[in-house]
Amino acid sequence: MVKLAVLASHEGTTLQALIDACAEDHLHAQLTAVISNNSGSGALRRAAAAGIPAHHISGKTHADEDLAVLAACQHAQADWVLLLGYMKKLGEQTLAAYKGRIINTHPALLPKFGGRGYFGLRVHQAVIAAGERESGATIHLVDYDYDTGPILAQTRVQVLAHDTPETLETRVKTAEQALLVETVAKLNR
């Protein structure tokens, strides 16, 4: 069974999709740690409610944030590290230790609408402003830059004529969660 450490900064809805998939026996994985740079994040609350070890690690709590994240992942015996709405760039020590085993989800069809500053509603606003007919979600391996690295999977979502950034975000998020569960399931093979 694959062991996963999750890094998340906000509400943790994508984390919840993994928690639910594991609880319903749709995903044979173990969530061994949840790490957030935001002490008030929903991700930490969701982890605590599910009995998953939760850690607040930020520049305010640890002098060497990168080393603290790495130590937490290693202590959790994580096979893979998942960035699910994590709003910080990983440090070089963690990137090196988990090279080829760090996955990020992104709410667009990379390489379009990716990179620094493209997150949350900003992505969906940009997709609509560009007149795109489709958007979607991407799951990729992480390297040393924002939203780069080999793409593992993508799913497409039609952009509707009446879409707002919020309505598009809702549909993309649903598709992203399903794609993540499918992709993580393949890590066991």
Catalytic choice (55, 106, 124, 140): 106
- Helix and strand numbers (H, E) in the chain are 6, 7
The answer to whether 106 is a known catalytic residue is yes
* Angle (CA) 124 131 169, round 5°: 20
Provide the 10 A C-beta neighbour count for residue 152: 15
Per-position b or e across 119-133, b if 16+ CB within 10 A of its CB: beeebbbbbbeeebe
Query: At 57, which amino acid appears?
Result: I
Do the Cβ atoms of 174 and 157 come closer than 8 Å? no
Query: At 80, which amino acid appears?
Result: W
Residues designated as active site: 106
